[in-house]
Amino acid sequence: MNSISPLKLLFLSTSVGPLGSGMGGGVELTLKNIAQALGDRHHTITIVAPSGSLLPSFPVIEISGRLQSTAQSEGREAWVAMPSESVLANMWNYARQVQANYDLILNFAYDWLPFYLTPFFQTPIAHLVSMGSLTDAIDHSIGQVITDFPSAIALHSRAQAATFEFGDRCRVVGNGFDLSQYQFCAEPKNALAWVGRLAPEKGLEDAVAAAQAAGIPLKIWGVLQDVPYWHDICDQYPDAPVTYEGFLPTAALQQELGKCRALLMTPRWVEAFGNVAIEALACGVPVIAYDRGGPAEIVQNGKTGWLVPPDRVKGLVDAIAKIDQIDRRTCREQAEQDYSLAAMGDRMEQWFATILARKAA
Ligand code: HBI
């Protein structure tokens, strides 16, 4: 536990959707968990987020304006684009006006603007980068922050860091979850789970193909972000035993997820971390994941799940066949060991202490 004094913190949320909508993907849960981890340690947290955001037990300053398009759909050469009346621009204009009331600003948005604005602010800005490298423009703006403020950038995994040429100069903080929200389930039903935004970078079609080959029902939870993509999968696998179960908030999701024999993780891209892997482990659910990105650093092969060669459905099917070799209690223990709120709170305080020490120097 660090002995840093209580801080007044301003969180700037993702610009692609209101908190609680699911449109922000994993970063919504990440922000909530970090607010709780730090709130438990007597820091005061205020959150700035798009209108319509809901977050229990923390003050949310709702900002109006048009949502940012998702960076992962932009392409590597994409220019920086913001609509008129941009919610992102309005959020950062608000932060500029109130910055003197805070000891530190923590940015969760994966956008060019917050990184570019960092030297323009008097209050230090810490950036928790939520995805791997996607566009040259954003890469360059993050690299510039590291040049000017060497301790200001943190990432979730080493694999995510490795996607940036400056990755070795970033802090890796993993993630943390309120494990009291997740109930351990010892006796699962005969079903597999897939959880995430239904979008091409998540590789859902492989999980559907694997469930069909294994003859085990697959339950799918998450925001239906790309409807044509989902319809293509349904057309391609008309007889697969799969059901789309909608987007559930954490309490309901973990109730259903815990009843599954395994979580399948089929990312096409370098998943920065893989929050759902921890949520599954916390419920005692083993994880079968492509050996790529954040999940490959989480799953202990043969102990809390199986890592399979990326993009190979047969690897998924082989792993499903031996899922009963995994002890579900070991899965819960791993979540408690590495990914609790207390562990994450320590890592965040260490990060902030480094930034504030540099500022003082
Ligand atoms: N795209 N432009 C942009 N900004 C974000 O904050 C953002 C995004 N795409 C996805 C995303 N955030 C989150 O879903 C991931 O960071 C988890």
Tally of structural domains, the chain:
2
* Nearest CA residue ID for atom 7, ligand 1: 110
319 close to ligand 1 (CB < 6 Angstrom): no
129 close to ligand 1 (CB < 6 Angstrom): no
Q: How far is the CA of 275 from the centre of ligand 1 (A)?
A: 14
Question: Are both 99 and 43 inside the same structural domain?
Answer: yes
Q: What is the rounded CA–CA span in Å between residue 238 and residue 70?
A: 30
Cα three-residue angle 24-30-36, rounded to 5 degrees: 130
Question: Are both 267 and 346 inside the same structural domain?
Answer: no
Question: Are both 69 and 163 inside the same structural domain?
Answer: yes
pLDDT recorded at residue 358: 87
């923590």: which residue's tokens?
106
Q: What is the rounded CA–CA span in Å between residue 349 and residue 127?
A: 14
Question: Are both 306 and 346 inside the same structural domain?
Answer: no
The full DSSP string for 125-185 is: EEEE--S----HHHHHHHHHHHHHSTTSEEES-HHHHHTSTTGGGSEE----B-GGGS---
Ligand 1: atom nearest CA of 68 is 2
Best of 11, 13, 14, 116 for a ligand 1 pocket test (most atoms within 8 Å of beta carbon): 14
Q: State the greatest distance between any 2 C-alpha atoms of the chain, in Å, as a whole number.
A: 64
**Closest to 66 (Cα-Cα) out of 29, 47, 91, 48:** 91
111 close to ligand 1 (CB < 6 Angstrom): yes
Question: Are both 170 and 25 inside the same structural domain?
Answer: yes
Residue 147 domain-assigned (yes or no): yes
pLDDT recorded at residue 2: 52
Ligand 1: atom nearest CA of 272 is 17
Residue 303 domain-assigned (yes or no): yes
Ligand 1: atom nearest CA of 131 is 16
Residue 288 domain-assigned (yes or no): yes
In three-state secondary structure terms, 298 is helix
24 close to ligand 1 (CB < 6 Angstrom): yes
Best of 12, 27, 115 for a ligand 1 pocket test (most atoms within 8 Å of beta carbon): 27
Residue 2 domain-assigned (yes or no): no
Residue 123 domain-assigned (yes or no): yes
Question: Are both 130 and 207 inside the same structural domain?
Answer: no
Over pLDDT 70: what percentage of the chain?
99
Question: Are both 210 and 301 inside the same structural domain?
Answer: yes
CATH of the domain at 349: 3.40.50.2000
Q: How far is the CA of 244 from the centre of ligand 1 (A)?
A: 23
Question: Are both 118 and 263 inside the same structural domain?
Answer: no
Instruction: Say how many Å lie between the first and final Cα of the chain, rounded.
Output: 23
19 close to ligand 1 (CB < 6 Angstrom): no
Residue 40 domain-assigned (yes or no): yes
Determine how many CB atoms are found less than 10 A away from the CB of residue 291. Answer: 15
In three-state secondary structure terms, 307 is strand
Ligand 1: atom nearest CA of 72 is 9
User: Could you state, in chain order, the average pLDDT of each consecutive group of 10 residues for the chain (361 residues)?
Assistant: 83 97 90 96 96 94 97 94 97 98 98 98 98 97 97 97 97 96 98 96 97 98 96 98 96 98 96 95 98 96 98 98 98 96 96 93 81
Residue 3 domain-assigned (yes or no): no
Question: Tens of pLDDT along 304-332?
Answer: 999 999 999 999 999 999 999 999 999 99
Q: What is the rounded CA–CA span in Å between residue 310 and residue 296?
A: 10
Q: How far is the CA of 109 from the centre of ligand 1 (A)?
A: 6
In three-state secondary structure terms, 240 is coil
Domain of residue 292, residue span: 179-338
- Helical H runs in the chain? 26-39, 87-98, 112-117, 136-148, 158-162, 204-214, 227-236, 250-257, 275-282, 293-298, 313-321, 328-338, 341-360
Question: Are both 164 and 35 inside the same structural domain?
Answer: yes
Question: Are both 158 and 246 inside the same structural domain?
Answer: no
Residue 1 domain-assigned (yes or no): no
Question: Are both 188 and 302 inside the same structural domain?
Answer: yes
25 close to ligand 1 (CB < 6 Angstrom): yes
Question: Are both 273 and 350 inside the same structural domain?
Answer: no
